[in-house]
Chain A
Amino acid sequence: MLRIENLTAEVDGKAILKGVNLEVPDGEIHAIMGPNGAGKSTLSYALSGREGYEITGGSVTLNGQDLLDMEPEERAAAGLFLAFQYPVELPGVGNANFLRTALNAIRRTRGEPEVDAMQFLKLARARMKELSMPEDMLKRGVNVGFSGGEKKRNEILQMALLQPKIAILDETDSGLDIDALKIVSDGVNAMRGPNFSALVITHYQRLLNHIVPDRVHVLADGRILTSGGPELAHRLEAEGYAGVLGEAA
């Protein structure tokens, strides 16, 4: 269970999150929707511990563990995964080396044995096949020369390999065509189970046709203003944020 209580955060001295309250129970997928500037990306970075996102109040726990006290890598080991809106290109870092290093770093902290190069290849190939990723993407530099869709698939591949308890998908649908959107959504849906939960951050309802959420929350001006079932996303699509929020406010 991810529990966010009264979370406030600043960027460059400006208050962005103004008291976010949210609970994502194990096994559930929640969506966070909101207009531009609502604080959606700030929430995802604050949760994953990025520098420059200063937490000024509140708490975040994952299965009772305080996340805010942890370094980004410790949060990852605790089971948090952030799928980036803009995955970073790392020239000179081979994708396979990166993925295996990450997997083994996390396995080590979990007290699990590390996987060797052969075991890793077997594991990665199986996942990549599910994500329709060409095998040469393992040999290339991390995200280097990847199309927008390939980068997002690479994020989902990382998620599938690292097996987090909770994944935050930050605008994973941006820049995806229909086919890629389906592949990525299938990747997320394949993770569904009692030990996996996700926070799907998106501007549009489109992604939520493929990854059907248990709950939908609307984030605006740094707060969750309203929450509801999957039907809330459809209402937002039909009426716009102004319509729905006007009513909530």
Chain B
Amino acid sequence: MNSVSPTSNAAAFLHRYAGLAGRLPGADIPALRALRDAAAETLTAAGLPSRRLEAWRYTDLAPMLRGEFREALTPVDEAVALPPARADRRAVFVDGRFRADLSSLDGLVAGSLAEVIETVAPRLNTVASASQPMVTLNTLLFEDGLVLEVPAGTDAGRVELLSLVSGETAATVHPRHLIRLARGARLVLLETALSPAGSAHLHNPVFEIEVAEDAVLTHVRVQREAESAYHLAHLGVRVAEGGTYDGFVLNAGGKISRSETHLALLGPRAAAHLNGAQLVANGQLADTTTALDHAAPNCASRQTVKTVLSGRSRGVFQGKILVRREAQKTDGYQMNQALLLSEEAEIDSKPQLEIYADDVKCSHGATAGALDEDSLFYLRSRGIPAGPARAMLVRAFLQEAVEVVADEAAREALDEAVAGWWAQHGEAA
């Protein structure tokens, strides 16, 4: 264990690790211990990302790094109010810990990562890259997570993942979720991340997701944490031949929220949807960053990301698409659009296409603008007051992104989140 550099901006996390290292799950597994120590070294040397790093140019973590967090290692056993279920099976995590008493995973090969840490340790950081800052931080401190396997040819239906932060104190939680679909398997994974208003926690989930041949994963994340919270998620995804990853991320909470997805299409005819929406109000920043690697021929990717900004808020979209030389006949589409409801809102949009194959179809576009005055007048001229008329147009703007989500319960969850956000912020917008 190296000594903690007092100058590292990750000092607080490193101190935490120094105190916890022997008690974290898998502390007695040398390979895992080495993984965590390596993460500590990286953070000691490089720290958490500053805006000097190109990938973090628009998202400044300084406000978070000034905050004081407490550890969430003490398991919370008290009753927690759960939102209504959206699926028969649900995995509930409170402060990053699996709660078997609140979960029901009947018929699934699924459970707590901490309980099977010896089995899954070799898989850690094989899909998500340890060189990614949020993966590094998670590697240092993860305590638990969901391990979910869908056997070959099985349709697991819809499974809910609830990530709750229990209190108003500033905990940091770093769940590590391992999701694996075997050949021809299917799953709809619907995550809702919630916390009480006023909570200033850090939620730093990392997903490692493997979609085997001809398997289909629909993965919808609905992040509705407190507006004072920090949410820094990293998703590593690998899709094999003929497989589909159908992803949607809604960021509707957090003082700073970033959803970063690194996805590789590794076999022919694999497909990826990296759709999403961000809703930000005064004082918030939301960042959707994706890196899509077309590494095989005849693959398709679709991406529509919409951002609605009100008040003095910021949105970031960074979308990189790499088409390798062997990825001929790639069919790629990327669109990101921002709706600015205030003159003080700002969107930074960085599409980035790197194409090395010569027979590909790749298009991308970006727009940013205010609500259309003609549309607003049309609605008002029909008797619909200004507030509801604006709400209709904002919903319509998001509709294009949301309507591609085929799972009805997931779409409902997204609609509710949008309606909830508007109820809270529409007046000001």
For B397, list chain A residues within 8 Å (CB): 92
CB within 8 Å of B: which of A136-193? 141, 158, 162
Closest to A101 in B: B384
Which secondary structure dominates where chain B touches chain A? helix
Contact B383 A73 (CB under 8 A): yes
Interface residue count for B (Cβ, 8 Å)? 24
Contact A73 B378 (CB under 8 A): no
Cα A162 to Cα B389 in complex, Å, equals: 17
For A141, list chain B residues within 8 Å (CB): 396
Contact A105 B395 (CB under 8 A): no
Cα A97 to Cα B388 in complex, Å, equals: 12
Cα A72 to Cα B386 in complex, Å, equals: 9
B374 located at the interface, meaning its Cβ lies under 8 Å from any Cβ of chain A in the complex:
yes
Contact A92 B388 (CB under 8 A): no
Interface residue count for A (Cβ, 8 Å)? 29
Contact A71 B386 (CB under 8 A): yes
Q: Output the least CB separation between B394 and chain A (Å).
A: 10
Among A77, A82, A101, point to the contact of B392 (Cβ < 8 A): A101
Cα A76 to Cα B384 in complex, Å, equals: 9
Q: Output the least CB separation between A67 and chain B (Å).
A: 12
Contact A90 B375 (CB under 8 A): yes
A20 located at the interface, meaning its Cβ lies under 8 Å from any Cβ of chain B in the complex:
no
Contact B381 A48 (CB under 8 A): yes
A50 located at the interface, meaning its Cβ lies under 8 Å from any Cβ of chain B in the complex:
yes
The contact string, 1 if C-beta is below 8 Å from chain A, for chain B 378-420, is 1111111110110011011111100000000000000000000
Cα A136 to Cα B55 in complex, Å, equals: 46
Q: Output the least CB separation between B57 and chain A (Å).
A: 32
B377 located at the interface, meaning its Cβ lies under 8 Å from any Cβ of chain A in the complex:
yes
Known: A51-B373, A91-B400. A102 touches B384 (CB 8 A): yes
A229 located at the interface, meaning its Cβ lies under 8 Å from any Cβ of chain B in the complex:
no
Contact B383 A51 (CB under 8 A): no
Contact B392 A93 (CB under 8 A): yes
Cα A93 to Cα B376 in complex, Å, equals: 12
Known: A91-B400, A92-B395, A92-B400. A102 touches B382 (CB 8 A): yes
For A51, list chain B residues within 8 Å (CB): 373, 377
Cα A168 to Cα B378 in complex, Å, equals: 14
Cα A191 to Cα B378 in complex, Å, equals: 22
For A71, list chain B residues within 8 Å (CB): 380, 385-386
Contact B378 A84 (CB under 8 A): yes
Among A88, A93, A109, point to the contact of B374 (Cβ < 8 A): A88
For A102, list chain B residues within 8 Å (CB): 379, 382-384
CB within 8 Å of B: which of A67-121? 71-73, 75-77, 81-82, 84, 87-88, 90-93, 97-98, 101-102, 105-106, 109
Closest to A91 in B: B396
For A105, list chain B residues within 8 Å (CB): 382-385, 388
| B positions within 8 Å CB-CB of A | 372-375, 377-386, 388-389, 392-393, 395-400
| A positions within 8 Å CB-CB of B | 48-51, 71-73, 75-77, 81-82, 84, 87-88, 90-93, 97-98, 101-102, 105-106, 109, 141, 158, 162
User: Could you name 17 residue pairs across A and B whose Cβ atoms are closer than 8 Å?
Assistant: A51-B373, A72-B381, A73-B383, A73-B385, A88-B372, A91-B399, A92-B398, A92-B399, A93-B399, A98-B382, A101-B384, A102-B384, A105-B383, A105-B385, A106-B383, A109-B383, A141-B396
Given contact pairs A81-B381, A98-B379, a sample of 20 additional A-B residue pairs in the complex whose CB atoms are under 8 Å apart: A50-B377, A71-B380, A72-B381, A73-B383, A73-B386, A75-B381, A76-B380, A76-B381, A87-B378, A88-B372, A88-B374, A88-B378, A90-B378, A92-B397, A92-B399, A98-B392, A102-B383, A105-B382, A158-B382, A162-B382
